[in-house]
Amino acid sequence: MSKGVRTRAAILGEALSLMSTDGLSGLTIGLLAERTGLSKSGLFAHFGSKEQLQVAVLQEAQACFTTHVIRPVLDLPRGLPRLEAFAEGWWAWNRSPPFPGGCPIQAASLELDDRPGPLRDEIAGAQRRLRAFIRQGAAMAVAAGHFRPGLDCTLFAFQMVGIAFAQTMTCRLLGEPEGLDFVRRAWRLQVDGALGTTQNQTGEMNHVE
Amino acid sequence: MSKGVRTRAAILGEALSLMSTDGLSGLTIGLLAERTGLSKSGLFAHFGSKEQLQVAVLQEAQACFTTHVIRPVLDLPRGLPRLEAFAEGWWAWNRSPPFPGGCPIQAASLELDDRPGPLRDEIAGAQRRLRAFIRQGAAMAVAAGHFRPGLDCTLFAFQMVGIAFAQTMTCRLLGEPEGLDFVRRAWRLQVDGALGTTQNQTGEMNHVE
DNA sequence: TTGACAATAGCACGATCGTTCGTTTATTTG
DNA sequence: CAAATAAACGAACGATCGTGCTATTGTCAA
């Protein structure tokens, strides 16, 4: 596999950087051509349409996330160790991803959530897969006895996604240096709430009014 | 209130709707003029530049949020009642704000977090004020004895912001009908963890009374 | 009612958008 | 090495972008 595939990869890499700062709608063919040193038409020929380019970029972003965050933790033992390592890797990714801007998946998720079409489908799929990964990770921790039985792993994933977004707000938008501390403490609270407890009651339902 | 002010308000209202679906960068002067029935130049004269229009829209979004979510709960007693009402109002706003799209503040926050300038300053200020409101709300709950003393109200606000973003993902992007349930359960867990407990130990550990 | 002034329209500008097409240059293959 | 194919270019298109002007309309106080 040669030239064509290689330049296509280079284009997507540059596109990811551009998108991380300017968003999907800021990803323009002219600008991208300029940064890659290609002509507009030469670059365009690789994708056939702007939308196909955008889809390719979203897929590239997922692949990059998998490489940097998911794959490394798959070597670790299932359950809590893997989950903890994934968390730490995710926080690191969110704070300083391999792009000049922030996490492109988070950005695209809020950019596309009201515009039905192939782009939204793509990013929605990414979020679904991510949540499934977390959910299964939590389920493994339950199976391994690290987390208490009856834990709602879907809710667990929901909460973890929330922490990740709150991190982006704190670390990137507000630029607060202590942001990572809040992330870790919120995550610790969530994990502690999921641990197997000595006197464990009804499971997820807690409360009393 | 004179003509100019009235049309300006109408423009901003329409701009808010447009922005909620297409984002700040999708908010174009030509499109906005078309929707308001004005000419491009006529509309343009109200703001002087695109950036000033965008700033005005961001401020309008904050004003709208204050009117719909913040102000109503200020009548309620300080502490937990006000905080709970605010939460419920916020979830309602996130799921179905008075625009065709999702919450413009959330969307703009992730759109602008990597682009320094007046726009980012504006939305960062909005997020800071929102967090401060939550923090103070939690502090009032502590003062009223609803929440345990020593609660980290900043962390509390951090977590609540996370829930709100996770809600947008679930309810808007993924379109899961049970999304609001997760929101409420995550929020309940957070509140329970902050309540004054009978035997209160080291800190964040919670659990039921 | 008229005169002052705010509000809006009309038009044009340079730039850039996504896209098409024919041509030229590289690369791969026989 | 030559033929076949892939990759990239250059120029142009209609549309739309944000932004200046000037002229016209509308509003409001005297």
CATH of the domain at B117: 1.10.357.10
Q: Which of A54, A70, A69, A72 is nearest to A16 (CA)?
A: A54
pLDDT at residue A209 above 80?
no
- Residue B196: the pLDDT is 82
In DSSP notation, chain B reads: --HHHHHHHHHHHHHHHHHHHHHHHH--HHHHHHHHT--HHHHHTTTSSHHHHHHHHHHHHHHHHIIIIIHHHTTSPTTHHHHHHHHHHHHHHHHS-SSSSS-HHHHHHHHHTT--SHHHHHHHHHHHHHHHHHHHHHHHHHHTTSBPTT--HHHHHHHHHHHHHHHIIIIIIS--TTHHHHHHHHHHHHHHHHB--SS--SSS-----
Q: Do the domain assignments include residue A26? A: no
Structure tokens at A17: 């950087």
SS3 B136: helix
pLDDT digits (tens, 9 = 90+) for A21-69: 999 999 999 999 999 999 999 999 999 999 999 999 999 999 999 999 9
Q: Do the domain assignments include residue A17? A: no
Scanning residues 27 through 66 of protein chain B, those with a beta carbon under 7 Å from any atom of strand D turn out to be 27-31, 40-41, 44-45, 49-51
pLDDT digits (tens, 9 = 90+) for A119-173: 999 999 999 999 999 999 999 999 999 999 999 999 999 999 999 999 999 999 9
Question: What gap in Å lies between CA B102 and CA B20, rounded to an integer?
Answer: 6
Instruction: Please provide residue B2's backbone torsions phi and psi, each rounded to the nearest 5 degrees.
Output: -100, 170
Size of interface A-B (CB pairs under 8 A): 146
- Residue A184: the pLDDT is 98
Distance from CA of B174 to the nearest CA of A (A): 6
A 185-204 → B contacts, CB under 8 A: 185-186, 188-189, 192-193, 201, 204
Q: What are the residues whose beta carbons fall under 8 Å from the beta carbon of B136, sequence distance 6 or more?
A: B153
Question: What gap in Å lies between CA A163 and CA A171, rounded to an integer?
Answer: 12
- Residue B53: the pLDDT is 98
pLDDT at residue A204 above 50?
no
**What does R_g of chain B's alpha carbons equal in angstroms?**
19
* Chain centroid, CA A162 distance in Å: 12
The domain total for chain B is 1
- Residue A205: the pLDDT is 39
- Cα within 13 Å of Cα(A120), Cβ side: 15
Q: Determine contact: B112 vs chain A, CB below 8 A.
A: yes
Place of tokens 């641990």: A195
Q: End-to-end CA distance of chain B, in Å?
A: 55
Question: What gap in Å lies between CA B140 and CA B146, rounded to an integer?
Answer: 9
Characterize B140-152 residue by residue with b for buried, 16 or more Cβ atoms within 10 angstroms of its Cβ, and e for exposed: bbbeeebbbeebb
Beta carbons of B48 and B136 less than 8 angstroms apart: no
Q: Do the domain assignments include residue B115? A: yes
The region that residue A23 occupies, defined by phi over 0 for left and psi between -120 and 50 for alpha, beta otherwise, is left
Asked whether the beta carbons of residue A185 and residue B113 sit closer than 8 angstroms, the reply is: no
* Chain centroid, CA A127 distance in Å: 7
B 118-177 → A contacts, CB under 8 A: 120, 123-124, 127-128, 152, 154-155, 158-159, 161-166, 168-170, 172-174
Distances from the Cα of A174 to the Cα of A105, B34, B108, angstroms: 19, 35, 13
Domain membership of residue B175 as a residue range = 50-194
Q: Do the domain assignments include residue A18? A: no
How many residues comprise chain A?
Answer: 209
Q: Do the domain assignments include residue B6? A: no
**For residue B187, with 0-12 CB atoms within 10 Å meaning exposed, 13-18 middle and 19 or more buried, which class applies?**
buried
* Chain centroid, CA A110 distance in Å: 13
Q: Do the domain assignments include residue B160? A: yes
Q: Which of B175, B142, B169 is nearest to B157 (CA)?
A: B142
Asked whether the beta carbons of residue B186 and residue A113 sit closer than 8 angstroms, the reply is: no
- Residue B1: the pLDDT is 67
Question: What gap in Å lies between CA A42 and CA A98, rounded to an integer?
Answer: 26
Mean predicted lDDT score pLDDT of chain A = 94
pLDDT by residue, tens only, chain B of 209 residues: 688 799 999 999 999 999 999 999 999 999 999 999 999 999 999 999 999 999 999 999 999 999 999 999 999 999 999 999 999 999 999 999 999 999 999 999 999 999 999 999 999 999 999 999 999 999 999 999 999 999 999 999 999 999 999 999 999 999 999 999 999 999 999 999 999 875 333 434 443 33
Q: Do the domain assignments include residue A2? A: no
C1' nearest to CA of A29: which nucleotide?
A: C18
Distances from the Cα of B134 to the Cα of A119, B90, B158, angstroms: 34, 11, 9
Kindly report which amino acid residue has its CA closest to the C1' atom of nucleotide D18: B50
Q: Do the domain assignments include residue B31? A: no
Q: Which residue has the higher pLDDT, A103 or A201?
A: A103
- Give residue A203's pLDDT band: very low, low, confident or very high (50, 70, 90): very low
In this prediction, residues A86-115 reach a mean pLDDT of 98
Q: Determine contact: A99 vs chain B, CB below 8 A.
A: no
